[in-house]
A and B are shown apart, each in its own frame.
Chain A
Amino acid sequence: MNRVAIVSALIAFLVGLSVATFSELRVFLPAILKGAVVTVQVSILSIALFIFLSVLAGIGRARGGRAIRWLSTIYVEVFRGTSLLVILFWMFFVMPEFGVTLSPMFAGVAAIGLNFGAYGAEVVRGAITAVPKGQTEATIALNMSPYRRMTRIVLPQAIAIMIPGMSNLTIELIKATALVSAVTLVDITYAAVQQNQLHYRTVEIFLITMMLYYVLAQFVRFGGEALEEYFTRHLNRRV
């Protein structure tokens, strides 16, 4: 009973809200959607960089020789231990001091990718370490090369283990893209703030902002679930 009441109240609130704001939507929605395009661009590029760096540094830390393990550890500790916003400022405001000028998009993607890659490296390292030792021993007994061992045996099993953690970080990353507004990019959040200053429809504007982020997160969630299903298919099939 209680649940029905809550759901009906919520639906009534949303219907009322949409009626009240319908006339205003066309005023501010296009600008926010344009911001959403920027958010999606920044997200896709930084997710690519994030995954690449996670796998590279994760393998480096789990299985690299001494030099590679050192480099990976330094990378992880530097970028995990410093604020994303400060890294972003370094990319955009400090690098020009050394003669390197980066576009806002490049600086944003690099900062986010480097920062989340450091977190992701630990997820990847944990997943690789979680693959049973017996698997590695079997590859030695079968005289497989270390490269084949990694690509054919360890990584395919590690991927299944790392997907929940990596999905989490990916969703976190999408929300963290809001920081790129600090280096002049007009993303969802920045567009919302601008539109609010112009139209003062605070509730509607930030409700839509929230919904947009939520929708983006759902793509990652379902993508992650599909990937997990794919990589664990051999465990689910029973006869």
Chain B
Amino acid sequence: MTHPMIQFDKVLKAYGALQVLKDLDFSVDKGEVVSIIGPSGSGKTTVLRVLMTLEGIQGGTMYVDGEPLNKMNVDGQLVDASKAHIRRIRSKIGMVFQNFNLFPHMTALENCNESPIFTQGKSKAEATEESMRLLDTVGLADKANHYPSQLSGGQQQRVAIARTLAMHPEILLFDEPTSALDPEMVGEVLEVIRNLAESGNYTMLLVTHQMGFAREVSDRVCFFDGGFMVEQGQPNDLFGNPQNERLKQFLSKVLEAG
């Protein structure tokens, strides 16, 4: 039996009285590339943040590769997950942030090595070899010994992607990865993400404002508004023939702005 790689089952996320995700049902198949678009405050980033366990949820269950993430099976009962359980499931997920969040006191190479050495227990030589290979695939092997403060935004984001890949995640989450970049650096980061999408090795969830890019790389695009997934579909259908009124408004505004 096949199961989705990511599944949200009636997930509720609220800050006090404000419900950001309202009983969200949502799933992503293995190897699928899904983009999430929507106005700010629609809950699209929250989908990534709760899945990465950066924030707790108030109701529902999330499944990763068929296993519950925020719950665990004890004698056939689903109970709240232990920290060890969350860490085990979480190891399948990697996340790239809007603001990169590189460790400023470590070089690009050390950033990539950090978790393989201290979390996965690899030797320094082993980790370095792999990190150098990954830095090479994002085109930054020559910047391995640079600190983040010595790199441009686009370079920092590419290091952050390499650092995430060093963990060997099966799921990649991208939270507006180009929003904090100067326009001329957006292309180099999108290029890296495009290659990852085309490799087919990863299940990818991408929150973005780059509509053209979303249309180009995604297998499916989801439109979020007000804590609900309002519409989803193949990129060409969703962008070319939107059904929902709010999606039409959103797209006309975004496309007007260029």
Contact = CB atoms under 8 A, between A and B. Distances in A.
Q: Interface residue tally of chain A, by bracket?
A: 20 to 34
A122 B115 CA distance: 30
B114 A142 contact: yes
A210 interface: no
B118 A138 contact: no
A141 B105 contact: no
Interface string B84-114: 0001001101110101011111110000001
A193 interface: no
Given A137-B54, A140-B54, A143-B87, A235 B101 contact: no
Interface in A189-239: 231, 234-235, 237-239
Contacts of B249: none
A134 B49 CA distance: 12
A156 interface: yes
Interface in B112-158: 114-115, 118-119, 146-150
B105 A156 contact: yes
Contacts of B181: none
A184 interface: no
Interface in B67-97: 87, 90-91, 93-95, 97
Contacts of A141: 52, 54, 93-95, 97, 164
Interface in A89-118: none
B91 A143 contact: yes
Nearest to B151: A239
B105 A142 contact: no
B99 A134 contact: yes
B53 interface: yes
B47 to A, nearest CB: 15
Interface string B1-16: 0000000000000000
B114 A152 contact: yes
Nearest to B95: A141
B167 interface: yes
Interface residues of B, number: 30
Nearest to A145: B119
A153 B94 contact: no
A126 to B, nearest CB: 19
B119 A235 contact: no
Contacts of A234: 104-107, 147-149
B44 interface: no
A34 interface: no
Contacts of A156: 105
A162 to B, nearest CB: 14
Contacts of A142: 94, 114-115, 119, 163-164, 167
A135 interface: yes
19 contacts: A135-B103, A137-B101, A141-B95, A142-B114, A142-B163, A142-B164, A143-B91, A144-B119, A145-B87, A145-B119, A234-B105, A234-B106, A234-B149, A235-B104, A235-B147, A237-B147, A237-B149, A237-B150, A239-B150
Given A141-B97, A234-B104, A239-B146, 6 more contacts: A138-B101, A141-B93, A141-B95, A143-B115, A144-B118, A145-B119
